[in-house]
Amino acid sequence: MAKKLYIKTYGCQMNVYDSARMADVLAPLGYGAAESPADADMVILNTCHIRERASEKVFSELGRLRQARAERRDETGADMIIAVAGCVAQAEGAEILRRAPEVDIVLGPQTYHRLPEMVARATRARSLKDGRKRRGAGVLDTDFPPESKFDHLPAPAPGQAVSAFLAVQEGCDKFCTFCVVPYTRGAEFSRPVAQIVQEARALVAAGGREITLLGQNVNAYHGEAPNGSEWGLGRLVRHLAEAVDGLLRIRYMTSHPRDMDDDLIAAHAAVPQLMPFLHLPVQSGSDRVLEAMNRQHKARLFYQIVERLRAARPDLALSSDFIVGFPGETEADFEATLKLVEEVGFAQAFSFKYSIRPGTPGAAMDNQVAEAVKDERLQRLQAVLNAQQVAFNRATVGRVLPVLLEKPGRRAGQLVGRSPHLQAVHAPADQSEIGTVVDLRIEDIGHFSLSGSRVPSEQRASRSTFDTLQEAVA
């Protein structure tokens, strides 16, 4: 009998990927997608622990689910399995089961290949009389297992998104002093090349045209190659571009500046499928703060990498992550960040106020920055970043960009896709064109997307006509 599964995903791309894979793991048990939690036989909250208030969010969502489950039971007699997955589950699993008895299953980011077993155990834990879970009978599986989940996952199901994610690397050994990821995702490891190629081919066979290679430190990738040697990310990108027919575009994220090696930078010049857009978090422009954050590089390294990347690929656009108000950050430190932003120029960026994470070294630092100061710095930083983003988008007006059409747009007769620089672009197009790259002349910029008109392909600009970001934001 068909059962329905609803997965609510928080956090980063790794979680988005994991949610898709959890659906793949549960498909053989008869689970298909539900429209809403209310009509689901199983609900999974795939949680994120990166900043404060993550767990409160989970508990309030669980309160709503408890209600939805009770209503469903009253109306239809059907039950609902509630699972909490992801990084909050990894960090606070036992606490979740204690505080929220309605939760049947708690699982971590490295154990979801065992979901069928967990579902069987959770089902057995229900009393036969009234379907209620026996107290204390919740299933907890937040190990870091010796086996790799990737060796036990089914092939991606048909009907994949045009732009698909593929995790090539997991975990993190960097231990930035603000960050929970090394604790919630575990130690760094890389998948073998052959397994990645197989999954990439399956994604393309299932409708994928663009693949974003994922990892918390994706450019620290060092996987086993078919000939037994070890390949870095640059070599992997070149290999995928050659070995996977029908793969039109490749991206990767998230990278660490320290791991941008020569080969990867060279791949930006050599591989046309590798899109000229890079998310490269720097966090701060101050050496003092970078040191306190344990980023293990100086601001100078970031400037140098950007220069080399732009030499390799002049139309490369950059994105980054910034944290303001890290313990000990002075006004001068913050100004160094502003200076970096002004000198480098970003097409887009994410910026956050430092958030204390229990258990990380930053939480124990005694020079915490006042909330009001963090607020003020964040506003100043975002004003500059937003202005750069608008300028970057505005510079595309009148230009022709190749856009990979992904899905229906806001209005009928429209599709939305992505430019090489990851800008969303709306344009008149037919459903049948989903998954193809079309040339669009950018007409206008809106808050969240650009709009374009069709250009016959012979008028198409060559790939190098796009000015460098530096010119665009000047």
Q: Which residues bind ligand SF4 (CB under 6 A)?
A: 172, 174-176, 179, 181-182, 216-217, 256
Q: Which is nearer to ligand F3S, 22 or 80 (CB)?
A: 22
Query: Which tokens sit at 389?
Result: 């983003």
Helical (H) or strand (E) element with 210: strand 210-214
User: Angle at the Cα of 244 (from 238 to 247), degrees rounded to 5?
Assistant: 90
CB of 15 to ligand F3S, least distance (A): 4
Does position 355 interact with ligand SAH (CB under 6 A)? The reply is yes
Binds ligand SAH (CB under 6 A): choice among 3, 34, 51, 258: 51
Q: Which of residues 267-296 bind ligand SAH (CB under 6 A)?
A: 281, 283
Contact residues for ligand F3S, defined by CB under 6 A: 11-12, 14-15, 48-50, 86-87, 180-181, 184-185, 216
Q: Which residues of 318-331 are buried (b: 16+ CB within 10 A; e: fewer)?
A: bbbebbbbbbbbee
Count of alpha carbons within 13 Å of 91, Cβ hemisphere only?
24
CB of 179 to ligand SAH, least distance (A): 4
Q: Which is nearer to ligand F3S, 92 or 439 (CB)?
A: 92
Among ligand SF4, ligand SAH, ligand F3S, none, residue 175 binds (CB under 5-8 Å by kind): ligand SF4
Burial class (CB in 10 A: 0-12, 13-18, 19+), 376: middle
Query: Which tokens sit at 268?
Result: 């930006």
Q: How large is the angle between the packed helices 13-26 and 115-124, nearest 10 degrees?
A: 60
- Provide CB contacts within 8 A for 435, sequence distance 6+: 162, 207, 209, 404, 405, 406
Cβ-contact 469, 347 below 8 angstroms: yes
Does position 50 interact with ligand SAH (CB under 6 A)? The reply is yes
Q: Which is nearer to ligand SAH, 173 or 433 (CB)?
A: 173
Give the integer Cα–Cα distance in Å for 329 and 288.
Answer: 8
Among ligand F3S, ligand SF4, ligand SAH, none, residue 400 binds (CB under 5-8 Å by kind): none
Q: State which residue has the least CB distance to ligand F3S.
A: 11
Query: Which tokens sit at 150?
Result: 């990737």
Give the integer Cα–Cα distance in Å for 307 and 142.
Answer: 42
Q: Which is nearer to ligand F3S, 178 or 326 (CB)?
A: 178
Residues 306-325 vs ligand SAH: string with x where CB under 6 A?
---------------x-x--
Binds ligand SAH (CB under 6 A): choice among 16, 179, 349, 403: 179
Among ligand SF4, ligand F3S, ligand SAH, none, residue 51 binds (CB under 5-8 Å by kind): ligand SAH
Give the integer Cα–Cα distance in Å for 327 and 354.
Answer: 8
Q: Which is nearer to ligand F3S, 216 or 419 (CB)?
A: 216
- Provide CB contacts within 8 A for 46, sequence distance 6+: 7, 8, 9, 10, 11, 15, 18, 19, 22, 85, 86
Among ligand SF4, ligand F3S, ligand SAH, none, residue 49 binds (CB under 5-8 Å by kind): ligand F3S
Cβ-contact 350, 344 below 8 angstroms: no
Going by the DSSP 8-state scheme, the letter that residue 369 receives in this structure is: P
Q: Which of residues 182-241 bind ligand SAH (CB under 6 A)?
A: 216-217
Among ligand SF4, ligand F3S, ligand SAH, none, residue 184 binds (CB under 5-8 Å by kind): ligand F3S
Amino acid at 336: A
Number of residues that bind ligand SAH (CB under 6 A): 17
Among ligand SAH, ligand F3S, ligand SF4, none, residue 354 binds (CB under 5-8 Å by kind): ligand SAH
Does position 352 interact with ligand SAH (CB under 6 A)? The reply is yes
At residue 261, the 3 state secondary structure works out as coil
Among ligand SF4, ligand F3S, ligand SAH, none, residue 352 binds (CB under 5-8 Å by kind): ligand SAH
Among ligand SAH, ligand F3S, ligand SF4, none, residue 355 binds (CB under 5-8 Å by kind): ligand SAH
Cβ-contact 260, 234 below 8 angstroms: no
- Provide CB contacts within 8 A for 91, sequence distance 6+: 49, 180, 183, 184, 359
Tell me the CA end-to-end span of the chain in Å, nearest whole number. Answer: 60
Binding site for ligand SAH (CB under 6 A): 50-51, 178-179, 181, 216-217, 254, 256, 281, 283, 321, 323, 352, 354-355, 357
